[in-house]
Structure 1
C-alpha cells in the first residue's frame, strides 16, 4: 500500500492518499475549530491523542494521524496480546491557555462522543492534559477516553488492575506515565549515538521542551552519562556548558513544563528562547512543537544526532539538508512511540504495569527497532526515516491482511 510520510502529508496529497475518515467541528460558543482524522482502522479501532494549539490545521492533524498509524504498526509482534490499532488524531485550533479552553475541550469531546465510545481511543497531547480529558469524559457520560478498546480486552477487571498499577506508580518523584515516553526517546537517542560511534559519556545534548517527553528524555539521557548543556521551555533557554542539574530542574518544574528559574545555579545562564538552536550540542531532542526545524533555520542545527520526541518537528526540506550534512535522525514514529505502545502493553497484558517491566519492555523494543532501522538504512543506502517507514509499512500490511482496516462488527 502506498503511504505518504507524516511530515510530508499535504492538502494536495490527501486527494490521492486519503484517510479512512475525517471531520471538522466548529464551536458554537467560541472561535475554535476542531478536527478528527482517522487514518486507518484495525479491528474497527484506532488510537491517537488530542492536541490544542492556536493555528492547528486539518493538514497537521492528517499528518499526525498518519504518524499514529506508523507508531502502532511498527510495534506489531505476532503472538503478543497487544494487536496494534489503526492511527487517528484530534486537533483543536485554539489557545490552550485561554480561560475558555476547558469549555472548548468539553464541547469538542461531546461532539466526538459516539466515535470515542466505539472507534477512537484517545488521550492527551500537546496543549491538552489527561486529567482535563478525564474530567470532560466523565462530564459527557462516557467511562474512559479509551473505552472503545475495552471491546477487545479479554479480562477488563485484570486490565484495570494493571492500569491502576501503571498509573499509580511513582519513580523518583515523577509518575511513571510521565516518564515512559521520554525514556523511550532516550533509548532511541542512545541507540543513534552508539550507531554514530559516539560515547554517551562524552556526548552533550540540548532538549527543546521540558514537559513529560522532554523532561523524561533529559532525565534518562543524563543518567546514561550524557551532559545536558541546554533546555528550552516556554520562557526561554537555560544553559550550562558544564551540564545542568537535570534532576533538580525536573522535580521543581511546573505542570506546563516551565523551569523554576530560582532553582538555577550561579553558573547556569538564561538565554532568550529564539537562541535554542545556538547552544552547541552533539545531540538535539526537539520535544515541543511540530515543524520547529525548517528550511529557514536548519543551517543553525549543530547536532550530529536528532531524536524526535515531538511529532513532525522537522520539515521534509530541512531533513533533506540535514541528511546532506550527515545528521542522523531517529524519526518520531519510532523514537517517541513508547507512550502509546506502553499503554496498550499494560491494557492488553503484555506487561504488568510495574516500572520494572515497563522500562525493560521499552528498552528492549526501542533498542531492537532502532538497530533494525540503522542496519536497513546502511544496507540499502537510505535515510533512517525511509528505513523506519518501510518497517512500519510492512507491518501495517501484515496487520491489514490478518485483521482488516475497515469497520468490523462490534459485540
Structure 2
C-alpha cells in the first residue's frame, strides 16, 4: 500500500506543530506567526537546452525571518512543488532553533529530472536560477544562504557562488552566500559527511541512556545493534558507515530499485561499490534479495534509518515496522498517521528536525568561516602542538620514560579544521538531544521526542519574536 497522493507534507508539519504548541505559553498570534511561511518565490524562466528553449519551474521559500539569514538547501527533482518546499523550509526553521544555529528556515527547488541534462545544461539552469534569486533579493550572506540537497552537490554550489559574486562584485562576503561549496571555493572540511555523522551522533546519544533503552528492551550503546538503512546517498551512506565503525551491524540496505538483508551483517563500503558497479544492490554476495522494496523497511532490526525521501513510512506499513528505534535521517519520512501508530507501539522515533541537523550545523561553521576569512585551526594548531610538546617533555623527565613515536604523534597533534568541525558537531548533537529529552521527560502529557523537539523550537523562536518587539 502506498501513501495517498493528496497528502500534504506542509499540513503534516503544521499538525505536528499544533500538537506541540499547546504545551507552550505563547499567544495564538505569535504561534501563527511562527507557523506561517513569510515569503514564497515561484518563478518560471527560459533556458536554452540544445536547439530548444525550455521553461523551468523553480521555488525558494523563506519560512521565518525571526533570525537572518534564512538557511536551507536547494533540491533538483521532478517531485519539487510548493507544498514540499514550504514544508522543508518550515522544518529548517525548527531544526536551526533546536541545535542553536541562528538562522531562519528556507528551502529551494528546481523541478527538473537531472538525468535528462548534461553538465552544461545543468550549469545554465543553476546560474539562471541564481540570477532570479538575486533579482528578487532571495540570496545573500545576510539574507538567504542556500546549500546542497537532493540532486545537488558542491558543484552546483560553486556555480551559485560564482554567479552571485559576478552580480555583486563589491560584496566582500560573497563566499558566504551559499554553503556546501568545494574546499577551493571557500567550503569547510567535514561538510560532505556532516549530516550522516550527525545522524550517528544523535542515535549514539539516544542509545547511551540506560533508562530509555530499558523501556524499549534494548541494551545501552550502539555496539551490536542491528540496523537497516534506507537510501545509500550521501546521508544514508555516511550514517551507515559511522554506525558500522562504532560496532553496529548493518543487516539491511534499501535502495529505490532493490533491497538486501543479511543477519550477520553487510559491509557498507563493499555494498556501495557493488551498487555503483551494477546499478542495484540486488544479488549482493551473501545477502538475501527482498522482492518488494517497501518490505525492506519491515525486516527485523533494532534501529531503522530512513535516509531517502519523505513519507516512506505511512498508515499502510507502520504497523509492520519491527524496529524499536527509528532515526529519521531524511526529511519527513514518517507521516503523522505513522507517527501515531508507532508511538502507540512504543517505538522510539528520533525526529528528523533534530537528527539530520548535522548538515545545517556544519553549514553554519562554513558560513562563519567565510565571514571571518580564515580557516579553522590556522590560529591555534601550532600553539596547541607546542604546548602539548612542553607538557609531554615534562612528563617524560618526571617519569624518566620515553613515549613511542606513534604515541608522540597522537599526543602532539594539534586540531585541524576537520577535527574542530567534527568536535563542534558532536557537541551540538549531544547537547541538543539532552535538551529535547529533558522536555520529553519533564513536560506532562508529552509522549514522544518529536513533540518535545517542536516544543524546544517553538520556545526559542517565540522568545526571539517577543524580543524583537514587533507584537503589541
> Would the TM-score normalized by the shorter structure come out above 0.5?
yes
1:236 positional shift: 1.3
Cα shift readout 1:380-405 (whole Å, capped 9, x = no counterpart): 24111111111112222344445689
Counterparts of 2:470 and 2:251, CA distance in 1 = 45
Task: Tell me by how many angstroms 1:6 deviates.
Answer: 7.6
Confirm whether residue 119 of structure 1 aligns to residue 131 of structure 2. no
Q: Secondary structure at the match of 1:97?
A: helix
For 1:203, the equivalent position in structure 2 comes to 225
Q: How far is 1:253 from its partner? A: 6.0
- Asked if structure 2 preserves the Cα contact closer than 8 Å seen for 1:280 and 1:303, the reply is yes
Distance 2:465 2:183 in 1: 28
Contact persistence 1:65–1:87 (CA under 8 A): yes
1:101-180 superposed matches below 5 A: 102=122, 103-113=124-134, 114-117=137-140, 119-138=143-162, 140-142=163-165, 150=173, 167=187, 169=189, 176-180=190-194
Q: Does 1:384 align with 2:449?
A: yes
Alpha-carbon shift at residue 133 of structure 1 (Å) = 3.2
Per the alignment, residue 188 of structure 1 pairs with 202
**Deviation, structure 1 residue 60:** 1.2
Alignment of 1:19-34 (within 5 A): 19-28=37-46, 29-30=53-54, 32-34=56-58
Contact 1:331 1:384 in 2 (8 A): yes
Q: Distance in 2 between matches of 1:225 and 1:315?
A: 31
| Equivalent residues of 2:68, 2:144 under 8 A apart | no
Matched positions, count? 380
Does the 8 Å contact 2:56/2:111 carry over to 1? Answer: yes
Larger Rg: 2
Shift of 1:213: 0.7
Instruction: Tell me the secondary structure at the aligned position of residue 123 of structure 1.
Output: strand
8 Å CA contact retained: 1:204, 1:283:
yes
SS at match of 2:165: coil
The 3 A distance-change label for structure 1 pair 321 and 403 is same
1:375 counterpart (438, 453, 459): 438
Counterpart among 306, 312, 315 of residue 292 in structure 1: 312
Task: Give the one of 242, 264, 277 matched to 1:242.
Answer: 264
Where do 4+ consecutive residues of structure 1 move more than 4 Å? 13-17, 162-169, 250-255, 257-262, 349-353, 401-406
Question: In the alignment, what sits opposite 1:409?
Answer: none
Q: Decide whether aligned partners of structure 1 residues 299 and 93 sit closer, same or farther in structure 2, where only a CA change above 3 A counts.
A: farther
Query: Which segments of 5 or more consecutive residues in structure 1 lack a partner in the other structure?
Result: 77-82, 170-175, 407-411
- Output one character per residue of 1:105-151: Cα deviation in whole Å (capped at 9) or x when no partner: 3432321124223621002111222312322542x353699x99948
The alignment's TM-score, normalised by the length of structure 1, stands at 0.80
Partners of 1:19 and 1:62 within 8 A in 2: yes
Summarize deviations over 1:297-348 as a string: whole Å, max 9, x none.
2122111111111111111111111111111111111100011111212432
Q: Residues 404 and 252 (structure 1 numbering): CA distance in 2 closer, same or farther, change over 3 Å? A: farther
State the TM-score, normalizing by the size of structure 2. 0.70
Q: How is 1:393-408 mapped onto 2 (pairs within 5 angstroms)? A: 393-402=458-467
2:78 to 35, 42, 54: 54
Structure 1 distance, partners of 2:279, 2:460, is: 38
Unaligned stretches of 5+ in structure 2?
A: 1-8, 19-30, 47-52, 378-415
Aligned counterparts of 1:216 and 1:384: Cα–Cα separation in 2? 24
Residue 59 (structure 1) shift: 1.2
2:202 match: secondary structure: helix
C-alpha distance in 2 between matches for 1:152 and 1:74: 26
Q: 1:68 to 1:168 in 2, by over 3 A?
A: closer
Change in 2 beyond 3 A, CA 1:249/1:267:
closer
Return closer, same or farther for 1:122/1:15 CA change in 2, 3 Å cut-off: same
Match of 1:94 in 2: 112
Deviations 1:233-255 (A, max 9, x none): 24311321110012333567659
Instruction: Give the 3 Å change call, closer, same or farther, for CA 390–105 of structure 1 in structure 2.
Output: same
- The Cα of 1:292 is off from its aligned counterpart by 1.4
CA–CA separation in structure 2 for the residues paired with 1:165 and 1:53: 25
Provide the rounded CA distance (Å) in 2 between the counterparts of 1:361 and 1:87. 21
Asked if the contact 2:60–2:138 (Cα under 8 Å) also holds between the matched residues in 1, the reply is: no
Partner of residue 418, structure 2:
355
